[in-house]
């Protein structure tokens, strides 16, 4: 992140679960804590007013954050950078109101929008109006996503209400952000160079959980990887279908059931059969790709 980008923001969010309090104790910060969680400020974000700092102080703050991240790889010092002309108290109050949400069953849950691993998915999980409601008086929201690039989302219009409402599909998507991120990390290692949309990973996870009845996370991650390598139809193959049903019944894990299977060999055999088949048979889909 260069100085110009950093200086275009007025506030920063710090997550005390990620960053030890001693690293920012020399700054005055505002807690972003709803009344219902007033006993847990050490678990919730705080707001740092960058605009109130002298230019030199702001540059020093950036240097401190960058040095800290070098010593703590895989973690971020500033969970978000915010651009807004509003006063800090107003921003902290608005964001505090977004932390607790009612789930479809009526219970309350913590909405971790301040975690960049969650916020990175909100521009596609939420619609523009919902994002505007979440941001409220904030004009632009920037966050750091793997492998380290900063991204920026600008509010497209005024907020309609002071709290955010989600439909059931969006709620399910949010509950699966953790496994989706772990799937994306694993896929980046195993399928290097592939640009895999998180929406596609979420869709395949829904198939694994809801259609095939898998429960064990490694099983679901293997299911997603297989579908991305060979296409959704791979799981209609009798050899895999029987293994999926056995895993869903609890007899064994899907990972264990697939141990020793060489799907690449299946694919090569299917392509070879398709190449030898008459044209009419190819149109009927005699190879693996049509399963």
Q: Which residues of the chain have pLDDT under 70?
A: 265-291
Cα separation, 273 vs 47, in Å, equals 62
Distances 119 to 31, 36, 135 between C-alpha atoms, Å: 19, 23, 11
DSSP secondary structure letter of residue 21? G
pLDDT for 237:
87
pLDDT for 276:
40
Which residue spans within 92-204 are E strands per DSSP? 100-102, 108-110, 140-145, 149-154
Best CA proximity match to 137, nearest among 99, 100, 82: 82
Best CA proximity match to 225, nearest among 261, 249, 272, 252: 261
Helix (H) or strand (E) holding 46: strand 46-49
Cα separation, 261 vs 258, in Å, equals 6
What global pTM score does this model have? 0.85
Measured CA angle at 35 (ends 29, 36), to 5 deg: 125
For 164-213, the pLDDT digits (tens) are 788 889 999 999 999 999 999 999 999 998 999 999 999 999 999 999 99
Helix (H) or strand (E) holding 243: helix 238-248
Cα separation, 80 vs 59, in Å, equals 17
Distances 202 to 182, 225, 275 between C-alpha atoms, Å: 12, 12, 34
């Amino acid at each position: 992140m260069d100085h110009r980008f950093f200086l275009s923001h007025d506030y920063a969010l710090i997550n005390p679960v990620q960053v030890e309090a001693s690293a920012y104790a020399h700054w005055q910060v505002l807690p972003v804590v709803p009344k219902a969680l007033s006993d847990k400020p050490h678990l919730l974000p705080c707001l740092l007013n960058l605009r109130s700092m002298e230019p030199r102080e702001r540059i020093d703050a950036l240097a401190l954050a960058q040095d800290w991240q070098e010593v703590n790889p895989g973690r971020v010092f500033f969970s978000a950078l915010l651009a807004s002309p509003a006063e800090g108290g107003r921003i902290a109050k608005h964001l505090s109101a977004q932390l607790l949400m009612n789930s479809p069953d009526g219970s309350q849950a913590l909405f971790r929008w301040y975690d960049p691993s969650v916020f990175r998915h909100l521009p596609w999980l939420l619609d523009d109006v919902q994002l505007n409601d979440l941001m409220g008086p904030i004009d632009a929201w920037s966050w750091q996503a793997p492998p380290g690039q900063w991204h920026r989302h600008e509010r497209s219009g005024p907020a309609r209400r002071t709290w955010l409402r989600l439909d059931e599909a969006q709620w399910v998507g949010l509950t699966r952000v953790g496994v989706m991120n772990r799937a994306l990390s694993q896929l980046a290692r195993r399928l290097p160079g592939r640009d895999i949309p998180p929406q596609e990973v979420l869709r395949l996870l829904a198939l694994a959980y809801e259609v095939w009845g898998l429960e064990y996370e490694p099983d679901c991650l293997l299911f997603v990887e297989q579908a991305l390598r060979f296409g959704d139809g791979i799981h209609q193959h009798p050899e895999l279908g029987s293994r999926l049903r056995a895993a869903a019944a609890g007899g064994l894990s899907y990972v264990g059931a697939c141990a020793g299977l060489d799907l690449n060999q299946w694919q090569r055999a299917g392509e070879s059969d398709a190449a030898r088949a008459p044209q009419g048979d190819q149109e009927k889909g005699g190879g693996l790709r049509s399963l």
